[in-house]
A and B are shown apart, each in its own frame.
Chain A
Amino acid sequence: MSEVFVNGQFAGTVEDPREFMEKVRSERRKGGVSQIVNVHWFEPLDRVMVECGRGRVRRPLVVVKDGIPLLTEKHIKQLQKDEISWNDVVAQGVIEYLDAGEEENCLIAFSESELTAQHTHLEISPLVMLGLCTSLVPYGDYIQSARLIIGARNLKQSIGFYASNFPVRMDMDVNILHTAQAPIVQSIMHDLSDYNAHPSGQNIVVAVMSFKGYNIEDAVILNKGSIERGFARSTYFRPAVAEELRYSGGLMDEVSIPQKEAKGYKSERDYRLLEDDGIVFPEAAIKEEDVVIGKTSPPRFLSSLEEYSLASNIRRESSLALKHGEQGVVDFVLVTENEEGNKLVQVRLRDQRIPEIGDKFTSRHGQKGITGLIVQETDMPFTASGIIPDLIFTPHGIPSRMTISHLIELVGGKTGALAGRLIDGTTFDAEPEEALRKELKRLGFRENGTETMYNGMTGEQYEAKIFVGTMYYLKLKHMVANKIHSRARGPIQLLTRQPTEGRAKEGGLRLGEMEKDTFVAHGASLLLKERFDSDRTIVPVCEGCGIIAIHDAIKNKRYCPICGDNVEVSDIEVSYAFKLILDEFKSLGIYPKLMLKNKY
């Protein structure tokens, strides 16, 4: 006697749970019970759970009876000819959807060859164990699983052609690859996901060799000629958004060229690109700190009456300017209204990104690398037939990572490019490596993919045969242009007078506690002091009471707030942070007395 629960609620009992489940299942396959219903028996509690609610993840499987799948050649032929549809096959009970619960009561065969009488279902394809991105990696069954995941993750970061209506979109942080190509080595998922209509990489000639040490530690060498022909060239789009906010008292922001009287007025030069409406004109070339949208806001505080009357005149400058290090061309200007009815101005910036040293590239096998050197085409190595690689990949990345699929793709890409066809590299169901090798040999190349190559600078033949071929390479969205950062002088924080933090604020790189320790360990005492001079200040100190004195710059007089001016006041050099902590002590009622002593 088993209890039956429908969607978690007790509904009754059945004598034989197996028989009951079998009945529900066969009815479902016949169409007597809805396709949505799943049933499973939870043995430890002896409960039969019938589920038909929402929120269950279900997946389709081929039904197996007595070790024979119900899906036959006939079905497949009919499906191919479009005589029947997927839904028909499901309605016939040939394919059914299982939820996580029902899966527990089933024995699912991974492939047709391992079917036995006990099996209840058959996987439609072994590929379903992989996700969408993972099945885009060719020859995924020839790679370490961890690397396969990295490869799939890299695919998500690749620059491509994400949407064909990109010119009329205002997406944040967009990269478009100029000449994206469909990969030569494809998997079935490329077809299913229509990847070839929005690809995200390019087929390039890759040579696996070292080159003057500039590709150590996974770096890659790029051919300058390829870059000039447009390899991995992309455009970066970023919108600047400004809104006319409304404030209390009927005051509001105004998009316009700010008046000279406005508080915080920059300079005429900064506003030079604005048109009369206060917005830059399209196709204007703008550099860092140029104003893109001119805007003024009402004053922040209306304290006295006097100021109130002037309030309408004295406005606060709140324009939108390019940040430090940014540049580009105004691509598109959009003036509209948002949900609250406020005027909304969006200016889209466009910036062409030509590959440079520091840009990140990867194949689809988790073999990422940073551009280490861009070499003149004339200096690049070339093959006997005159092929010059677009990219040189270091062989040291292979043994430890065991990305065999990377190597197979290289051979496959070469074969495909020479034979003029696409290569099927679907995981578990790819064209065998043997076949690729044979075809490559037939095409007049060495079957292992190596070729005789010559040093581009000396013309000498390399002793080793170099592994060259075509591969699908991705440019990743991490480009130096967005990350490069340096500082000599720059902004400081208001409170501590120490340098700001972070690239966006043009900040410094912190020399932390442990870094400090290294200076001490070296005994480089004075160098350490200089490194921490970023917030040094000269503070007048009263020698009488040991409290920070006052320097009156107008009268050029120093006096102590406690002892008056008949007392010795000396200047000392300390970090501003220390002055701050003294102030904090005072605010806590602690009297920090400085006792001065002549250093010399």
Chain B
Amino acid sequence: MHKELEKFEGLLPLKLLREIEELAPQSKIKKVAERVLEEYTAARVDPGEAVGLVGAESIGEPGTQMTLNTFHYAGVAEMNVTMGLPRIIEILDGRKNPATPMMEIYLKSPYDKGKDIKEIALQVKEVKVGELVSEYSMNISELKIELKLSAEKCREFGLTPSIVVRNAEKLVKEGTMKAEGDTIVLKLKKRDETSMNDLYKLKEKVKGVYVSGVKGIFQVLPVKRKEEFLIITSGTNLKKVLDLEFVDATRTVSNDIHEVAEVLGIEAARQAIIDEVFKVIETQGLNVDIRHIMLVADTMCTSGEIKGITRYGVVSEKASVLARASFETPIKHIINAALTGEVDKLNSVVENVMLNQPVPIGTGLPGLVMKGKVAKAK
């Protein structure tokens, strides 16, 4: 770093310092830095500004114009995504399971050109035995089921009956599997009176047995975006997908915030919240400054885990009993406060409005500090 700039460390953010170093002529670097500091200081939000409330208004007001929208992909499989207000509510509530989990899988260089994209996509899709079978025939006397596999499906997923048997065998403990041509013969191990019922149960069970692909990915849809091909999926499994060798792990995203937090950490989750909320707002054609959303994402993530803007999440962290009680479930909060002898310091807005006291925001924040001689009493 330039010598002159070292003085500004701590005063200006690192990003700005780097930019100055890069762009400003060496001779004038001090002058530029001073001017930047001036502008930077002036642009900062004043102390006592109701940042959260302005953010809430800025997101809430355009939110009233949002339509309840589900977005449909035109094309092969039925794939819709919750968008609009329900999606925003879902994110901000910090819900564990999004209504429509989705991934955008970016591909590494040779794979993103579109060659064999369908095959690549199908490798990601979770395949269950039931999907491959075209016909079941049950042999009650010998207590076995013959599963006739559809050749077409097998070819599509690049599977053969023997591979299916190898992958599924361990998961079917009640029976033994054996590939015979294009059919799989499933024999029940146990042989007693109830085995007939067991055979039926086995048939139902084997349908849902995992064969290949990534678990949790129900549908895949290859799409072309600009020059490259990528795969959009319904259902997520970030951890497994990032492990795949053809996946560009730096850009692949999941819309399940909690999953992102688990796999990539809370910082990534914060970014995911921002991106997801902003995406919705953008598609609705609204104009909300991203910093409002960043603030919301920050408050949701500061504790290290994702907290929704609900009475169980962020609101429950509020210091004031009265503020919590005025949000939702007042009785619960009042009773708990009474039991533990909680003290309300009246440090925030809502409590002070309730007591009709000046709120410690804006002009209500500063106190007058006087330095002077105290007149001596004579």
Contacts and interface: CB of A to CB of B under 8 A. Distances in A.
A103 B361 CA distance: 70
Interface stretch (A149-157, A357-365, A518-526): A518-526
A520 B354 contact: no
A175 interface: no
Contact of B356 (A536, A585, A595): A536
B48 A523 contact: yes
A578 B354 contact: yes
A590 interface: yes
Contact of A526 (B338, B353, B363): B363
Nearest to A591: B338
A96 to B, nearest CB: 48
Contact of A516 (B54, B353, B360): B353
Interface stretch (A192-200, A264-272, A306-314, A569-577): A569-577
B169 to A, nearest CB: 53
A575 B356 contact: yes
B353 A532 contact: yes
Interface in B40-71: 48-50, 53-54, 56-57
B244 interface: no
B97 interface: no
Nearest to B330: A581
B368 to A, nearest CB: 9
B355 A525 contact: no
Given A524-B362, A590-B338, A533 B356 contact: yes
B357 interface: yes
A525 B365 contact: yes
Contacts of B355: 574-575, 578
A577 B351 CA distance: 12
Nearest to A529: B358
A525 B353 contact: no
A520 B363 contact: no
Contacts of B57: 517-518, 521
Contacts of A575: 354-356
B150 to A, nearest CB: 39
Nearest to B61: A514
B363 A525 contact: yes
The residue in B54, B56, B353 that gathers the most chain A C-beta atoms within 10 A of its C-beta is B353
Contact of A523 (B338, B343, B354, B362): B362
A353 to B, nearest CB: 38
Contacts of B338: 585, 590-591
B10 interface: no
Nearest to A578: B355
Contacts of A521: 50, 53-54, 57
B364 interface: yes
Contact of A525 (B335, B343, B354, B360): B360
A525 B356 contact: no
A522 B362 contact: yes
The 7 closest A-B pairs by CB, nearest first: A523-B362, A525-B364, A575-B356, A590-B338, A525-B358, A525-B363, A529-B358
24 contacts: A516-B353, A517-B53, A517-B57, A520-B50, A520-B53, A521-B53, A521-B54, A521-B57, A523-B361, A523-B362, A523-B364, A525-B363, A525-B364, A525-B365, A526-B358, A526-B364, A528-B358, A528-B359, A529-B357, A529-B359, A536-B356, A574-B357, A575-B354, A578-B356
